Structure 1
Amino acid sequence: MTTAPDATTEAPPAPAPVRADGQPSQASWREVGLYLLSRVGEVLRRVVKVVRPIGWVLIGIAAVLWIVGPWLGWREVTIAAVVVTAVLVLCLLFLIGRTTYDVALDLARTRVVVGERAVGALTLANSGQRAILPSRVVLPVGPGRGVFGIRHLPPGEQVEELFAIPTSRRAVLPVGPVSIVRGDPLGLFERVDSRDAPVDLYVHPRTVRFEGQSLGFVRDLEGMTSRDLARDDIAFHALSEYQPGDDLRHVHWRSTARTGTLMMRTYEQTRRSHFMIGLSTHPGEYADPEEFELAISAAGSLGLRALRDAYRVDVRTQSAKLRTETQKHLLDSLSGVDASRAREGGTSVLAGAVAAAAPAASVVVLACGSRVPAPQLQSAVSRLPLGSRALVVVAALGQEAARRRIGEADVITIGALEHLPPSLRRVLG
C-alpha cells in the first residue's frame, strides 16, 4: 500500500530535460549558459576589486597607446605602450603568493570610559608550509583604520602587533574585520582578504558616584506611598467605617468598642520603587554636542545609582526604550544614543511618552538641555505621572548650579557633571 509523500518533505531535484535522441534540451543549455555567465561575472568582480583607480588610468593609457601607435606608425608611441604594459604586468606579479595568515584579534577590554585607551593585540601566524611575503594588515576602527606592516613570515612563525585606540567621544566602535592587503609598490593593484569577525568596542559616557547608601528618593523598602487610599496595604493612614466587602482582618477593635461602630483600618497605597528616566535627544534643545554629552552622563549617573539601590530602572528617549537590566546594559545602551530627528518632538513629547509607559512610577527624572523654553518645561512637568516624585535635570554647560521649582517638580541646572551630587543633596535635604 503506498502513501502520499509528506508535504514538508523536500522533493528530489528533477532530472535535466532531454530530447528523444538523448541530447540535452534547449532548456538545459540555457541553464548551463546562465551558470557560466554567473561564474564569469564573479571572476570579473574579483578582478575589478583588485585594480585601484590609478591602475585603471594606466590600463586606459596603455590601451590608447596600443591603438594610436600602430595606427599612426609612431614607434615612440608603440614603445611607450610596451613600457606601460610591462609596468602593469610587473605590478601584477606582486599579487602572487599566499596571504593565509591565522589571525587572532584580542581586545583587553571591550568597554572603556571616554578618555581611556582601549589596548589590544593582533596576532598573525603562518601555519602553512611556505613562507608568506611581506604584506600590510588593515584594522578598521569605526570610521578610521590602523595599518600594520608585516614582514616576511616563514612557516610556523607568528608575529604580534600591539595597538591602542584613543577614545575622545562616547560611541560604539566596530573593531575589524582584519583585512590582509597585498599590493605593488606603485599602488596600481591591491588584493584584500578579510579575516575574523568585527568586535564592538563600547565607549561609555562619564559618570559620577554619589555619596551615601542611597539616592534618597525612595526611603521605604516596599515602595513610596501615593495619595490613593486602599483597604489593604502597608502604609497605615486612618480609620473609616465598615463598608460591605471589607476584609474583617483589618477591623480596629479598640475603636469599634469605643464608638460602637465597626471601624476599619485604611491604608495609603504604596508603589514599587520604579525609577524612570527620560532622556531628551532633540538636537535643538542643546547648545552644543558637549551639552548633550553632559545630559547623557547625568542620566547615566542617576541610573547607575538607582540600580545599585536595587530599584527597577527604565530609560526612554523620544525614539526608543533603552536596555537597563544591569549596569553594563545601561552604559552600553547610552554609548549608542544619538541625537534624534527634530520632528520627533522635544521634552514635552518625551514627558508624555514617559507617563504613558510608566504611569505608576515612583520617581521620574527628565534630562534635557539649556535651550528648552520655560513654557515647554512647564508643559513637560504637567504631563508627568500624578503622585510620582519628579526631578528635572537641565544640562547647561559652563553655567553655575541652580535650583528652582516648577509645579510639583524640582528643577536643577548643572554646568558640569560634578555639580550633580551637591545639587541632588540640596533637593533631598
Structure 2
Amino acid sequence: MSTAPKRTRPPSSSSPASSEANAGVRATTSPFARREIRKNRRKERSDHTNRSETIGAGSTYADTAYGHTATQLRAAEAGLVGRSVYAANRLWRRVRRIAKRTLRWLGATVTGLGWSILAVTLIGFVVGYGFGWVEAVFLGFFGLVVLVIAACFMIGRSVYAVDLLMQSARVVVGEQAPGSLVVTNPTKRRLFPETIEVPVGEGLAEFSLPSLGAGGQFRGEFVVPTLRRSIITVGPVRSVRADPLLLLRRELVWTGGLSLFVHPLTTPIPSTNTGLIRDLEGNPTRDLTNSDVSFHALREYAPGDDRRHIHWKSTARTGQMMVRQFEQTRRSQLLLALSTSSADYYSEEEFELAVSVAGSIGIRAIRDGRDTAMAVSEIMPEYATNVTPAAQRLRVTSPSRLLDDLSGVAHHDRAIPLTQLSRVCANEITGISVAFLICGSVPTATQIRSASLAFDLDTEVVAIVCNPGIVPSIRRIDGLTVLTVGYLDDLKRSFAKSAAL
C-alpha cells in the first residue's frame, strides 16, 4: 500500500538563514532565542521599509502594502483565531468609516427642527412601548413618517454649470453694482426645482430655480448695495435642497466668491507741484555735498576730494588748490499719515471725510509721479504689554491699488493715535519732504503741534482737520500749516488758494 507524500509548508524566505530562523521559532522554547528571532525580524522589516522609501512617489504605497502583508502573514501563522481577529479588524474599520460619513452627512443636512423631530420620535417609541402609552407610540410613528417623507426630498443629486458675473469689480460709494447669475443644466435629463443662494456681504440674494430640461438655462439679476465704503464679498453660489417643513437641508457650493471694492469719494485737486507742497526735484536744498549739479561755492582742497572738481583758474590765481562745492538736490518724498484711532474722530462722518481726503491727495500725488508713502494706524493687541507701536503701509503703485486698500480701512479703539503715528512714520520712512497728517476734530492744536515735531525741521508738515459742516480755513502755527475742511470740495479750494499764495 503506497502512501501519499506529505505536503511540506514552504519556508517564508529562500535564504538558509531565514529557514533556520523559522525552524528555531517553532522548535525552541528558550526566551533568549525567541528574543533574538524577534530582533532579526524587526531588522528585516526596517530594511524592507528603507528599500521602499527609495522608490520615490510609491514609497507610501509600498510601506502600506508591506504592513498589510505582514499582518496577513501573522494572522495566517496564528491560525483560525488570528484570521478571525484580522477580519474583525477590517470590518470595524469599514463600519467606523461609514459611521463617520453618516454623522458628517447628518450634521450638514439635518436642521435644528429636524433634530427635534428625531428626538421626539425616539422618545415616543421608548416611552410608548416602555409604559404602554398608545399616544406616545402614535407620536413616534408620526415623526418617523415625517422624517421619511423629508428624506425622500434629498434623494438624487443635481449637476449645474454656474457662472457668477459682476459688471465691475470696483465702484464708488453710491454707484450701482449690478451682478448676474447664469445656471445651466449640462446633463441630458431634467433637473428638479431648487433654491439658489448668493451671499452678498451680510445679506443674501435668493433665486427660485425652476425645473431645467437638458441644456436649459436660467439667468438671474441682482444689485449689490453700495451705501458705504467697504470690501464686499459676493458669493459663493450654493444650491439648496430642502423639504417643505425644513427638517432637512442640503447645500452644495458651485463657485467661489468675488470681491467688490467700494471706493471712497474723491475730488480732483490741483497739481501738487505748486503751492504748499512744491516739488523739490532738481531744486537745491541747504545740504552741501562734494558732487552734484547745483554749484554753490569754492573751498580749499582737502584730502579725499575728487580731483575732477578742482577749479584750476582759481587755483592758479590764489596759489592754493581750490575745489567746487555743490548744493545737494533731491527728489521730494510725500507722506500721507491717516489716523484710524477712534479717539481722533467725533463721528463716523468725520472718519469717512478723512479717508476721502487721503484718497484725493494720494491720487493727485501718484498722477504727478511723486514718491508717495501712505500709512495708517496699526491696531495694538488688547492684552499685550511692551508692544512697539506700528503703522500699516498702503499700496501707492497706482490709484486703483490705493483706493482698493482704502476701501478696507476702518477706525478702531485700539489703533494708535495721531501723535504716535507721526513718530512711527518719522522713524521708519526716510527723506520725507512733505508730510500730511489727517485726523478728525478731536485732537487739539497742542496735540497736532506735538505730532508735527516728530519730523525734521526741513520737512513741510500740513495737518488736515476734518470737521463736517465747518467753514474751511487755513492757518499757520509755528511753521505748521493747518487746513480745516468741512466738505470734500473744500479741499480743492484750499489747495487752489495755497497755490496762488
**Normalised TM-score (structure 2):** 0.78
Alpha-carbon offset, residue 31 of structure 1 = 7.6
Question: What amino acid sits opposite 1:332 in the alignment?
Answer: D
Q: Distance in 2 between matches of 1:106 and 1:177?
A: 11
Please say if residues 343 and 413 of structure 2, whose CA atoms lie closer than 8 Å, have aligned partners that are also in contact: no
Q: What pairs up with 1:367-386 in 2 under 5 angstroms?
A: 367-386=438-457
Alpha-carbon offset, residue 345 of structure 1 = 2.4
Please state whether the residue corresponding to 1:104 is helix, strand or coil: strand
Match of 1:155 in 2: 214
Match of 2:405 in 1: 333
Say yes or no: does 1:54 pair with 2:113.
yes
Match of 2:472 in 1: 401
Please say if residues 272 and 365 of structure 2, whose CA atoms lie closer than 8 Å, have aligned partners that are also in contact: no
Q: Which moved more, 1:257-266 or 1:50-59?
A: 257-266
Please state whether the residue corresponding to 2:377 is helix, strand or coil: coil
Go from structure 1 to structure 2 and tell me whether the alpha carbon gap of 1:299 and 1:247 turns closer, same or farther (over 3 Å shift).
same
Q: What pairs up with 1:260-279 in 2 under 5 angstroms?
A: 262-279=321-338
Match of 2:156 in 1: 97
Q: Distance in 1 between matches of 2:240 and 2:96?
A: 28
- When Rg is computed on C-alpha atoms for both structures, the one with the higher figure is 2
The structure whose residues are more often strand, as a share, is 1
Deviation track 1:69-117 (CA, whole Å, cap 9, x = no partner) reads: 3344343443333233222222222222332111111111011111112
Please say if residues 75 and 83 of structure 2, whose CA atoms lie closer than 8 Å, have aligned partners that are also in contact: no
Question: What amino acid sits opposite 1:346 in the alignment?
Answer: P
Alpha-carbon offset, residue 371 of structure 1 = 0.8
Percent of counterpart pairs with the same letter? 35
Please say if residues 274 and 313 of structure 1, whose CA atoms lie closer than 8 Å, have aligned partners that are also in contact: yes
Q: Distance in 1 between matches of 2:293 and 2:136?
A: 99
Q: Distance in 2 between matches of 1:198 and 1:336?
A: 17
Go from structure 1 to structure 2 and tell me whether the alpha carbon gap of 1:219 and 1:345 turns closer, same or farther (over 3 Å shift).
closer
Please say if residues 167 and 178 of structure 2, whose CA atoms lie closer than 8 Å, have aligned partners that are also in contact: yes
Match of 1:111 in 2: 170
Structure showing greater relative contact order (alpha-carbon pairs closer than 8 Å, 6 or more residues apart): 1
Alpha-carbon offset, residue 126 of structure 1 = 0.5
Q: What pairs up with 1:131-170 in 2 under 5 angstroms?
A: 131-170=190-229
Match of 1:200 in 2: 259
Question: What amino acid sits opposite 1:339 in the alignment?
Answer: H
Please state whether the residue corresponding to 2:63 is helix, strand or coil: coil
Match of 1:359 in 2: 430
Q: Distance in 2 between matches of 1:417 and 1:389?
A: 22
Match of 1:218 in 2: 278
Please state whether the residue corresponding to 1:152 is helix, strand or coil: coil
Please state whether the residue corresponding to 2:267 is helix, strand or coil: coil
Please state whether the residue corresponding to 2:329 is helix, strand or coil: strand
Please say if residues 103 and 195 of structure 1, whose CA atoms lie closer than 8 Å, have aligned partners that are also in contact: yes
Q: Distance in 1 between matches of 2:207 and 2:54?
A: 56
Q: Which moved more, 1:355-364 or 1:126-135?
A: 355-364
Please say if residues 278 and 364 of structure 1, whose CA atoms lie closer than 8 Å, have aligned partners that are also in contact: yes
Q: Distance in 1 between matches of 2:421 and 2:54?
A: 51
Please say if residues 279 and 366 of structure 1, whose CA atoms lie closer than 8 Å, have aligned partners that are also in contact: yes
Q: Distance in 2 between matches of 1:310 and 1:25?
A: 80
Question: What amino acid sits opposite 2:214 in the alignment?
Answer: P
Alpha-carbon offset, residue 156 of structure 1 = 0.9
Please say if residues 382 and 407 of structure 1, whose CA atoms lie closer than 8 Å, have aligned partners that are also in contact: no
Match of 1:312 in 2: 371
Say yes or no: does 1:21 pair with 2:76.
yes
Q: Distance in 2 between matches of 1:423 and 1:9?
A: 70
Selected match of 2:250 from 191, 199, 204: 191
Please state whether the residue corresponding to 2:422 is helix, strand or coil: helix
Note the residue ranges of structure 1 that are not aligned, 5 or more in a row. none
Alpha-carbon offset, residue 32 of structure 1 = 6.9
Match of 1:419 in 2: 490
Please say if residues 138 and 181 of structure 1, whose CA atoms lie closer than 8 Å, have aligned partners that are also in contact: yes
Selected match of 2:189 from 124, 127, 130: 130
Q: Which moved more, 1:79-88 or 1:296-305?
A: 79-88
Go from structure 1 to structure 2 and tell me whether the alpha carbon gap of 1:202 and 1:258 turns closer, same or farther (over 3 Å shift).
same
Aligned length: 424
Match of 2:123 in 1: 64
Go from structure 1 to structure 2 and tell me whether the alpha carbon gap of 1:33 and 1:379 turns closer, same or farther (over 3 Å shift).
farther
Please say if residues 410 and 427 of structure 1, whose CA atoms lie closer than 8 Å, have aligned partners that are also in contact: no
Q: Which moved more, 1:332-341 or 1:299-308?
A: 332-341
Please say if residues 102 and 126 of structure 1, whose CA atoms lie closer than 8 Å, have aligned partners that are also in contact: yes
Go from structure 1 to structure 2 and tell me whether the alpha carbon gap of 1:25 and 1:257 turns closer, same or farther (over 3 Å shift).
farther
Selected match of 1:73 from 114, 126, 132: 132
Please say if residues 176 and 226 of structure 2, whose CA atoms lie closer than 8 Å, have aligned partners that are also in contact: yes
The structure whose residues are more often helix, as a share, is 2
Please state whether the residue corresponding to 1:208 is helix, strand or coil: coil
**Normalised TM-score (structure 1):** 0.90
Deviation track 1:194-228 (CA, whole Å, cap 9, x = no partner) reads: 11111111111111111458565233444x54332
Alpha-carbon offset, residue 20 of structure 1 = 6.0
Match of 2:46 in 1: none
Alpha-carbon offset, residue 136 of structure 1 = 0.7
Please state whether the residue corresponding to 1:209 is helix, strand or coil: coil
Q: Distance in 2 between matches of 1:99 and 1:353?
A: 56
Q: Distance in 2 between matches of 1:56 and 1:309?
A: 64
Go from structure 1 to structure 2 and tell me whether the alpha carbon gap of 1:340 and 1:104 turns closer, same or farther (over 3 Å shift).
same
Alpha-carbon offset, residue 350 of structure 1 = 0.6
